[in-house]
Amino acid sequence: MDRIILELEGVVEHCSEPARRVEIVRRLTEYRAGGARIVLCSSVGAGLVPPDAARTIDSLLETATDYGVPCDELFLGDPGASDALLVIDDKAITFAELVEYDAAGIARILQAEAAVA
């Protein structure tokens, strides 16, 4: 089954445009209805141990619920993307961009994406 991995804080929580946030949730819901599993991940909780990890999980689930983000799995840290259909992150580039652009070009891509969010 296809997984869509979403870094929750950067993509949804810090999205400055409510209409864009609604569209993100709508698209995720469509993919889920089509059989994809939605995996929410957070680098914030990477390496935490109980009870801190439990508080972080509770906070992430509350955020997902507040924004209506569908969730089938929750992962603290990097869930691994080898079998993912999509990986959605606010600080991401594609392999093609990595090959095509130098460090300055990649920085411009990330800055442009941050401006849109």
In order along its 117 residues, the chain shows pLDDT tens digits of 588 888 887 777 777 788 888 888 999 999 999 999 999 988 777 777 788 888 888 988 998 999 999 999 988 877 776 678 777 777 776 767 777 888 888 888 888 876 665
pLDDT (0 to 100) of residue 84: 81
- In angstroms, the CA 107 to CA 5 distance is 23
Q: Which domains does the chain have, with CATH numbers?
A: 3-89 (3.40.50.1000)
Sequence letter at residue 86: L
C-alpha distance from residue 19 to each of 30, 45, 69, 98 (Å): 17, 28, 14, 30
pLDDT (0 to 100) of residue 72: 95
pLDDT (0 to 100) of residue 29: 94
- In angstroms, the CA 31 to CA 23 distance is 12
Contact in structure between 8 and 60 (CB atoms under 8 Å): yes
pLDDT (0 to 100) of residue 116: 64
pLDDT (0 to 100) of residue 9: 77
Eight-class DSSP state of 70: -
